[in-house]
Amino acid sequence: MEEANRLKKLPLYLFTIIDDLKDKAQQNGIDIIDLGMGNPDRPTPKHIVDELCKKVRIPENHRYSRSIDKSEKSLRNAIAKWYDTKFGVKLDPESEVLPLIGSKEGIAHLALAFLNNDDIALVPNPAYPVHFNGVLIAGGILHNIPIYEKDGYLPNMRSIPKEIIKKSRLLFLSYPHNPTAAVANIEFFKDVVEWAKGKNIIIGHDLAYSDMVFDNYKAPSILQVKGAKEMCIEFHTCSKSYNMAGWRMGFAVGNSKILKTLAKIKSYIDFSMFKPIQYASIKALLGSQSCVKENVKEYRKRRDVIVDGLRKIGWNVPRPHATFYLWARIPDKYSALTSMEFVALLIRETGVVVAPGTGFGEYGEGYVRFALVEKAEKLKEAVQKIKKLLEMDA
Ligand SMILES: Cc1ncc(COP(=O)(O)O)c(C=O)c1O
């Protein structure tokens, strides 16, 4: 059974290889500390779970869910209110808000909805993989914009050749950034919106980590920029802010025409999310936000434990101002290895699992990503195990 060519173009799914390496290490009696996937370990707050349980007992909520239903209308209103409170951005709940079954599907469907075969999508590299894989699945042409440590991992839009820009229909951005944990300020977004004017390029800004911020940094919305609604939509998710990764609750907001087309393609493929999840998400967005603060406090603690710990054992890593990731250059001693080889060595010798930089694109080579999805004590343990590897003869 031959798979379609569009699937053959996709890079191998990184976590399948890592799962194999983990299995082998476990068979050799090694304990695993898994910091590979950005899969939040903390539970969804009780008031959100309670609302789901209440609403799941109502038979009416078991039916197909449609965008015209009361539950989705209330959810759209809640999202608009949340955006206004958080960013001071006014949205029309009817036309400028679109609930998604997790933001990942929305990002992939945006490419499918707008790219024809010769159309180019501009994607900073490294990136969260669906930003480029969605383009390949849609049959579009991917143009990587390399982003570098020396530039704070921000793309230089002026470096893109004119012929490429002419054929470009889509640009993905995402700050705070996965995997590098880089952040952007409003000046950067102003600059990009100015650059995009008159170019007929849609900007999809993925703001999954807006709440996971430290050291007084505040993540801006691109929609705070005057004129941004002309070409921008922004993706958001309850996965990280409210520890609801398994629930599949995301949303897109911004330009109404873009959202209408995104809704159109989705209408041929899926239904709206399960109604009890919609009601529980309203509770998440409009209820007490102290759970978000708790989350941030915990992740800040984890960040400091891992950064201080690694620096102490001679691995000089940066201290990120956002996300629950740490993006670290492979230690000098192992710099001759590829990021995948280094990760394989780390798993085999220590049981600590991190993600290789190349899992996020070719410009991730030379780096690895730690996801801080274990408690501080476990992170300290991981540091001690890594210490042994760094002390071994290479
Ligand atoms: C940048 C980024 N966008 C989107 C997602 C996916 O979010 P969701 O759970 O809403 O699909 C992730 C998940 O790790 C992410 O890192």
CB-based burial of residue 304 (10 Å sphere; 0-12 exposed, 13-18 middle, 19+ buried)? middle
pLDDT at 392: 81
Average pLDDT over residues 76-83: 98
Whether pLDDT at 323 is above 90: yes
Mean pLDDT of 128-141: 96
What class has domain 46-286? alpha beta
Across the range 129-144, mean pLDDT stands at 96
Report pLDDT for 393: 67
Strands (E), the chain: 33-34, 97-100, 120-125, 141-146, 168-173, 202-206, 232-237, 250-254, 325-329, 352-353, 355-356, 367-371
pLDDT higher than 60, residue 171 = yes
Radius of gyration for the alpha carbons in the chain, expressed in angstroms and rounded: 21
Ligand 1 midpoint to CA 148 (Å): 22
Quick one: which atom of ligand 1 is closest to the CA of 236?
10
Grade residue 328 by pLDDT with cuts at 50, 70 and 90: very high
Q: Is the CB–ligand 1 distance for residue 326 below 6 Å?
A: no
The answer, yes or no, to whether any atom of ligand 1 lies below 6 A from the CB of 36, is: no
- Average pLDDT (145-168) is 97
Query: What are the φ and ψ backbone dihedral angles of 370, each rounded to 5 degrees?
Result: -95, 130
pLDDT of 296 higher than 90:
yes
Which atom of ligand 1 is least distant from the CA of 100? Answer: 10
| 3-state DSSP assignment of residue 253 | strand
- What dotted CATH number matches 5-43+291-391? 3.90.1150.10
Q: What is the mean pLDDT of the chain?
A: 96
Token couple for 363: 């410009």
Indicate if the pLDDT at residue 394 is higher than 80. Answer: no
pTM, entire model: 0.97
pLDDT tens profile 25-45: 999 999 999 999 999 999 999
pLDDT at 356: 96
Token pair belonging to 177: 């950034």
Tell me the CA–centroid distance for residue 103 and ligand 1, in Å: 6
C-alpha to C-alpha distance for 291 and 370, rounded to whole angstroms? 23
pLDDT classification of 14: cutoffs 50, 70, 90: confident
Q: What is the mean pLDDT of residues 55-76?
A: 96
Question: Residue 394 and residue 387: Cα distance in Å, rounded?
Answer: 13
Residue 331: partners with Cβ closer than 8 Å, 6 or more residues away: 314, 315, 390
What spacing in Å lies between the alpha carbon of 282 and ligand 1's midpoint? 19
Q: Which of 103, 105, 125, 153 to mutate to test the pocket of ligand 1 (most atoms within 8 A of CB)?
A: 103
Residue 360: per-residue pLDDT: 96
Domain boundaries, the chain: 5-43+291-391, 46-286
Instruction: Return the higher-pLDDT residue of 99 and 66.
Output: 99
Report how far ligand 1's centroid is from the alpha carbon of 303 (Å): 20
Stretch 167-182: mean pLDDT? 98
**d(C-alpha 187, C-alpha 225), whole Å:** 9
Separation between Cα atoms, residue 197 and residue 48, nearest integer Å: 41
Name, in order, each residue with C-beta under 8 angstroms of 127's C-beta and a sequence gap of 6 or more: 172, 174, 178, 360, 361
* Mean pLDDT, range 79-89, rounded to an integer: 98
Predicted confidence (pLDDT) per residue in 244-275, tens digit = 999 999 999 999 999 999 999 999 999 999 99
- Is the distance from the beta carbon of residue 134 to the nearest atom of ligand 1 less than 6 Å? no
As a 3-state breakdown, the chain gives helix, strand, coil percent values, each rounded to 5, of: 50, 15, 35
pLDDT at position 46 is 98
